[in-house]
Amino acid sequence: MLQANTARLSGVWKLGKLSEISGAQAREDLGRLSAQVMSIVARSARVGDGHIDSVPDDVVAKGKTAAEKFLLRWRGEADPRHVKAIDTYWVCTAEHGLNASTFTARIVASTGADCGAALSAAVGALSGPLHGGAPAYVKPMLDEVAASGDPERWVEEALASGKRIMGFGHRIYRAEDPRSRILKQTARELGSPQVAVAEELEQVALAALQKRSPDRVLATNVEYYSAVVLDVAEIPPPLAPAMFACSRVAGWSAHILEQKRTGKLFRPNARYVGPAPRSLELA
């Protein structure tokens, strides 16, 4: 829904193509779209909670930070614990180099398409479970582990059945993701009811993954404790990828502006691995 609505804004606002607008205009378009991303998520979460009304703009305007305004737009009130949880999560996830969704944003921007097209494509890439979709699976996993009462057995069975343990492993990091440490600390400070089971599962899973592949370090990634922190703010797991998009839109925007400055089209080469040349003559 976020992906579709972000793309829709290109038409509604008649956004110009990146190849035909100035850098200042692109920056303005990205700023407007970024604010709308948060608003779309907050409004749709409000509808998801069963409300049919919207929170008046003057109530939202009282919020001092993006996280506070977001919660006011969604719930009409902003619990300071929830604000701190979302704020920390958003600061930790705003930018992270050339990950899959940022690369997607840059590819679309490189074609000269408009900012809405580039951001909506990035939202699509982010939604996958191997990227920004992971926290949506972490909380149900923690609930399952807590209910089982036996993390070791749970991990053993999960790995034996070929499952990936969500929130572990990273394409680049071969050590603990530094953001994970900050989020764990925040989860503790905010008195998360899930942090104990998360820490226990973390120890068990790290040991099991290490035993399974001694040569490959699979450590805790940002998504693991993100899920615990988002739970403090009572964010339903299916909303986790959209919450991620609200912050990562900042990183995408910076990359889109940089890509525009290069003026270069992405066109990777592919190595053909299909059948060798063959005759098409009928026998």
Ligand X SMILES: CC(C)(COP(=O)(O)OP(=O)(O)OC[C@H]1O[C@@H](n2cnc3c(N)ncnc32)[C@H](O)[C@@H]1OP(=O)(O)O)[C@@H](O)C(=O)NCCC(=O)NCCS
Supply the residues annotated as catalytic: 170, 223
165 lies in the site for ligand X, by CB under 6 A = yes
Smallest distance, ligand X to C-beta of residue 235, A? 17
Which one, of 243, 255, 155, lies nearest residue 205 by Cα? 155
How far is the C-alpha of 218 from the C-alpha of 212, rounded, in Å? 10
Smallest distance, ligand X to C-beta of residue 97, A? 12
- Give the burial class of 102: count Cβ atoms within 10 A of its Cβ; 0-12 exposed, 13-18 middle, 19 or more buried: buried
134 lies in the site for ligand X, by CB under 6 A = yes
Residue 165 or 249: the one with the smaller Cβ distance to ligand X is: 165
Structure-token pair, residue 190: 């905010």
**Span interacting with ligand X, options 101-109, 168-176, 232-240, 271-279, rule CB under 6 A:** 168-176
98 lies in the site for ligand X, by CB under 6 A = no
271 phi and psi angles, rounded to 5 deg = -90, 125
Residue 15 or 126: the one with the smaller Cβ distance to ligand X is: 126
Smallest distance, ligand X to C-beta of residue 28, A? 31
222 lies in the site for ligand X, by CB under 6 A = yes
Mark 58-97 with x for binding to ligand X (rule: CB under 6 A) and - for no binding: ----------------------------------------
223 lies in the site for ligand X, by CB under 6 A = yes
Smallest distance, ligand X to C-beta of residue 163, A? 7
Pick from 70, 89, 154, 168: which binds ligand X (CB under 6 A)?
168
Which amino acid, one-letter code, is at 249?
Answer: V
Judge whether 6 and 123 are in contact, CB under 8 Å: yes
- Give the burial class of 16: count Cβ atoms within 10 A of its Cβ; 0-12 exposed, 13-18 middle, 19 or more buried: middle
Smallest distance, ligand X to C-beta of residue 104, A? 15
Residue 116 or 135: the one with the smaller Cβ distance to ligand X is: 135
The DSSP bridge partners found for residue 220 are 168
Residue 83 or 145: the one with the smaller Cβ distance to ligand X is: 145
Residue 112 or 124: the one with the smaller Cβ distance to ligand X is: 124
Pick from 42, 218, 235, 250: which binds ligand X (CB under 6 A)?
218
**Span interacting with ligand X, options 36-44, 82-90, 159-167, 240-248, rule CB under 6 A:** 159-167
130 lies in the site for ligand X, by CB under 6 A = yes
169 lies in the site for ligand X, by CB under 6 A = yes
Binding site for ligand X (CB under 6 A): 130, 134, 164-171, 216, 218, 221-223
